[in-house]
Amino acid sequence: MDKKKKTRSRSPEETPTDTRAQKRYRVDDTTPPPFNINNYQLIKKLGKGSFGKVMLASYTIKSQLVAVKIIKKKKKTDYHDIEMEATILRLGHTCPFLSRAYAIFQTESLVLFILEYARGGTLHKLIKRHRYLNSQEAQFYSAELVLGLRYLHKYGIIHRDLEPRNILLDEEGHVQIADFGFAQARKFDSKACHGTGGASGYMAPEVLEDVPYNSSADWWSFGVVVYEMATGKLPFSPNGTFQEQLDNITNTEPYYPETLTPEFRDFIQQLLKTKVEHRLGVYANAQDHPFFSSVNWETVKERSMVPPLKPRIKQIDMLSNIPFPENKIRKTGMNKEFTYIDPSWLDK
Ligand code: ADE
**Ligand 1 proximity of 46 Cβ (cutoff 6 Å):** yes
Of 78, 81, 161, 317, the active-site residue reads: 161
Quote the distance between the C-alpha of residue 182 and its chain's center.
9
Whether the Cβ atoms of residue 85 and residue 71 lie closer than 8 Å to each other: no
**Ligand 1 proximity of 51 Cβ (cutoff 6 Å):** no
Looking at residue 212, its pLDDT comes to: 83
Atom 8 of ligand 1, residue of closest alpha carbon: 118
Please report the atom of ligand 1 found closest to the CA of residue 117: 7
1.10.510.10, 1.10.472.10, 2.40.50.220, 3.40.50.620: which CATH number matches 123-301? Answer: 1.10.510.10
Q: Tell how far the Cα of 162 is from the centroid of ligand 1, in angstroms.
A: 15
Name 115's bridge partners: 67, 101
pLDDT band at 346; cut points 50, 70, 90: confident
Please state, rounded to an integer, the average pLDDT across all residues of the chain: 87
pLDDT value at 64 more than 80: yes
More confident residue, 238 or 52: 238
Please indicate if the annotation marks 73 as binding a ligand: yes
Q: Which helix (H) or strand (E) holds 66?
A: strand 64-72
**Ligand 1 proximity of 70 Cβ (cutoff 6 Å):** no
Q: Tell how far the Cα of 56 is from the centroid of ligand 1, in angstroms.
A: 8
CATH (residue range 12-119+314-347):
3.30.200.20
Q: Tell how far the Cα of 35 is from the centroid of ligand 1, in angstroms.
A: 19
Looking at residue 325, its pLDDT comes to: 86
**Ligand 1 proximity of 123 Cβ (cutoff 6 Å):** no
Per domain, the residue ranges of the chain are 12-119+314-347, 123-301
Please report the atom of ligand 1 found closest to the CA of residue 47: 1
Quote the distance between the C-alpha of residue 107 and its chain's center.
23
Most confident of 62-66, 288-292, 309-313, 329-333: 288-292
Mean pLDDT, range 29-35, rounded to an integer: 84
Looking at residue 69, its pLDDT comes to: 96
* CB-count burial class (<10 Å; 0-12, 13-18, 19+) for 83: middle
CA distance 201 to 81: 24
Looking at residue 4, its pLDDT comes to: 38
Please report the atom of ligand 1 found closest to the CA of residue 115: 6
Atom 10 of ligand 1, residue of closest alpha carbon: 46
Looking at residue 10, its pLDDT comes to: 39
**Ligand 1 proximity of 168 Cβ (cutoff 6 Å):** yes
More confident residue, 134 or 4: 134
Q: Tell how far the Cα of 265 is from the centroid of ligand 1, in angstroms.
A: 31
CA distance 187 to 261: 35
Span of 85-89, 190-194, 323-327 with lowest mean pLDDT:
190-194
Q: Tell how far the Cα of 103 is from the centroid of ligand 1, in angstroms.
A: 14
**pLDDT tens digits, one per residue of 128-179:** 999 999 999 999 999 999 999 999 999 999 999 999 999 999 999 999 999 9
Span of 126-135, 201-210, 321-330 with lowest mean pLDDT:
321-330
pLDDT value at 21 more than 60: no
pLDDT value at 234 more than 50: yes
Return the sign of the alpha-carbon dihedral for residues 67, 328, 48, 140.
positive
pLDDT band at 326; cut points 50, 70, 90: confident
161 labelled catalytic: yes
Looking at residue 181, its pLDDT comes to: 85
CA distance 182 to 158: 9
Looking at residue 233, its pLDDT comes to: 97
pLDDT value at 264 more than 60: yes
Over pLDDT 70: what percentage of the chain?
Answer: 88
Please report the atom of ligand 1 found closest to the CA of residue 178: 3
Mutating to test ligand 1, I would choose from 69, 117, 170 the residue with most ligand atoms within 8 A of its C-beta, which is: 117
**pLDDT tens digits, one per residue of 77-107:** 888 889 889 999 999 999 999 999 999 999 8
Question: Which amino acid type is present at position 310?
Answer: K
**pLDDT tens digits, one per residue of 111-133:** 999 999 999 999 999 999 999 99
CA distance 183 to 71: 16
Span of 47-61, 206-220, 256-270, 271-285 with lowest mean pLDDT:
47-61
Span of 19-33, 218-232, 233-247 with lowest mean pLDDT:
19-33
Atom 6 of ligand 1, residue of closest alpha carbon: 117
Q: Tell how far the Cα of 145 is from the centroid of ligand 1, in angstroms.
A: 17
**Ligand 1 proximity of 118 Cβ (cutoff 6 Å):** yes
Looking at residue 22, its pLDDT comes to: 37
pLDDT value at 7 more than 70: no
